[in-house]
């Protein structure tokens, strides 16, 4: 089978639209006709060479579509299902899976840097040569091949250009508030960074019942959006003192929880300073894996709990449908996130917008 895909051949070069082909489905595979795919900052990290993968490669991991074909071990009734794709396949029986940490699955972690499928093989070809797959999905293509378990059914009335966002940014942010921090009614929260992940963290905090939500960002337009989505206070850094604002609305203690999604050294340091003693810090953002981040030691004291989370504690079969229902019931705003729709051929323009910090999410529609 042949179809079009956006192929990155080398870091820091334009993506090209190529005709590629796929091999036959393995027994637990499903072939998904992609309807929509969001442009995420992690994709940009690969393009910029900050996140290193073998190439050529098809990027894209925030993806939704319709199951068109199924492998021999997959029930035929799944054909025609609307699905959101999860980028965290896992074996279910390794050391970490048995401890309910699928994001640390040994097979998932081991095969990820090779940009292959979870079984260690590849399904895509470009001119007869191996073509790599980012995050087990390769969503910037007309079709994607994933394992049956990673194709999560959606309600029939869920629009797929909104559903795709659930697969990464929304799950990470909302999940940080609900699954990792387990926020409770009346708690105070600071969210640092108001992109798709941060805005989702704000909405997750509101869903959990937090009554004081301080949003921090450099972009005042994003802060205005954060207020629309549930933030009660904002801090435009560096002009405004985010730490003083956080302490000012908590009788000088600092917030109960900080959800950091900016991914830079000042944001990490602020997260430690703004958290009250006995509070918790959830780091969602990331900096270079070999970069150092320095902290004032006193900011880390006081029985503070710090955790790094990559996917918001996702249990896709449970969480993806829940997020879709929240959207359909008007409790989760996804419409505001989609600031540009693109054709596949416009993908480089979409990444230029992402570099420049324009909008929240550009979504490719097929």
Q: pLDDT digit string (tens) for 208-246?
A: 999 999 999 999 999 999 999 999 999 999 999 999 999
Residues 145 and 177 in one domain: no
What the block records as the tokens of 269 is 């340091």
Residue 289 has pLDDT above 90, yes or no: no
The per-residue pLDDT for range 295-351, each reduced to its tens digit, is 999 999 999 999 999 999 999 999 999 999 999 999 999 999 999 999 999 999 999
- Is residue 288 over pLDDT 90? no
Examine residue 316 and state whether it is found in any structural domain, yes or no: no
Q: 273, 292, 308: which is the final residue of a domain? A: 308
Phi-psi region of 35 (alpha: psi -120 to 50; beta: other; left: phi over 0): alpha
Q: Kindly state whether residues 254 and 137 are assigned to the same domain.
A: no
> Angle of helix 196-208 relative to helix 220-228, nearest 10 degrees?
30
The predicted-structure confidence for 191-213, as pLDDT tens digits, reads as follows 999 999 999 999 999 999 999 99
> Are 81 and 144 members of one domain?
yes
Query: 180: which DSSP letter?
Result: I
- For the segment 304-319, what is each residue's pLDDT rounded down to a tens digit? 999 999 999 999 999 9
**Residue 25 in this model has a pLDDT that exceeds 90:** yes
What mean pLDDT do residues 249-259 have? 98
**pLDDT tens digit sequence for 112-167:** 999 999 999 999 999 999 999 999 999 999 999 999 999 999 999 999 999 999 99
Quick check: is 168 in a domain? no
Please check whether residue 325 lies inside any domain of the structure: no
Query: How many CA within 13 A on the CB side of residue 321?
Result: 9
> Is the residue at 328 inside a domain?
no
What is d(CA 353, CA 366) in angstroms, rounded to the nearest whole number? 20
- pLDDT score of 357: 92
Do 20 and 140 lie in one domain? The reply is yes
Residue identified by tokens 């940014």 is 169
Residues 118 and 9 in one domain: yes
Residue 145 and residue 16 share a domain: yes
Whether residues 258 and 353 share a domain: the answer is: no
Q: Specify whether 78 is located in the same domain as 187.
A: no
* Statement to judge: residues 201 and 264 lie in one domain: yes
Number of domains in the chain: 2
Whole-number Å distance between alpha carbons of 262 and 267: 6
Residue range 51-85, pLDDT digits in tens = 999 999 999 999 999 999 999 999 999 999 999 99
Q: For residue 301, give its domain range.
A: 173-308
The reply to whether 27 and 131 lie within a common domain is: yes
């Amino acid at each position: 089978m042949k179809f079009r895909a956006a192929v990155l051949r080398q870091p820091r070069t334009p993506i090209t639209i190529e005709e590629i082909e796929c091999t036959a489905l393995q027994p637990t595979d499903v072939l998904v006709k992609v309807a929509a795919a969001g442009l995420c900052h992690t994709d940009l990290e690969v393009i910029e060479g900050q996140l290193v993968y073998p190439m050529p490669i098809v990027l894209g991991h925030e993806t939704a579509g319709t199951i068109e074909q199924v492998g021999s071990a997959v029930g035929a009734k799944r054909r025609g299902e609307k699905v959101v794709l999860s980028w965290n396949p896992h074996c279910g029986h390794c050391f970490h899976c048995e401890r309910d940490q699928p994001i640390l699955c040994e097979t998932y972690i081991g095969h990820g840097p090779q940009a292959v499928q979870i079984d260690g093989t590849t399904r895509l070809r470009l001119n007869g040569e191996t073509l790599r797959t980012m995050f087990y999905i390769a969503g910037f293509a007309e079709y994607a091949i994933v394992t049956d378990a990673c194709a999560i059914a959606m309600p029939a009335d869920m629009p797929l250009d909104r559903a795709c966002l659930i697969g990464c940014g929304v799950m990470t942010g909302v999940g940080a508030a609900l699954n990792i921090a387990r926020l409770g009614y009346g708690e105070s929260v600071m969210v640092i960074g108001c992109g798709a992940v941060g805005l989702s963290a704000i909405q997750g905090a509101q869903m959990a019942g937090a009554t004081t939500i301080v949003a921090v960002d450099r972009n005042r337009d994003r802060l205005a959006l954060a207020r629309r989505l549930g933030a009660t206070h904002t801090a435009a850094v560096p002009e405004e003192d985010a730490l003083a604002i956080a302490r000012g609305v908590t009788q000088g203690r600092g917030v109960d929880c900080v959800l950091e999604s900016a991914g830079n050294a000042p944001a990490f340091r602020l997260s430690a300073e703004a958290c009250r003693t006995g509070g918790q810090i959830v780091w969602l953002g990331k900096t270079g894996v070999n970069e150092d981040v320095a902290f004032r030691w006193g900011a880390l004291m006081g029985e503070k709990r710090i955790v790094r989370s990559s996917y918001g504690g996702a249990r896709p079969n449970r969480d993806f449908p829940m997020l879709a229902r929240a959207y359909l019931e008007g409790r989760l705003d996804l419409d505001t996130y989609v600031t540009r729709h693109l054709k596949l051929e416009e993908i480089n323009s979409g990444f230029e917008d992402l570099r420049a910090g324009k909008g929240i999410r550009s979504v490719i529609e097929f």
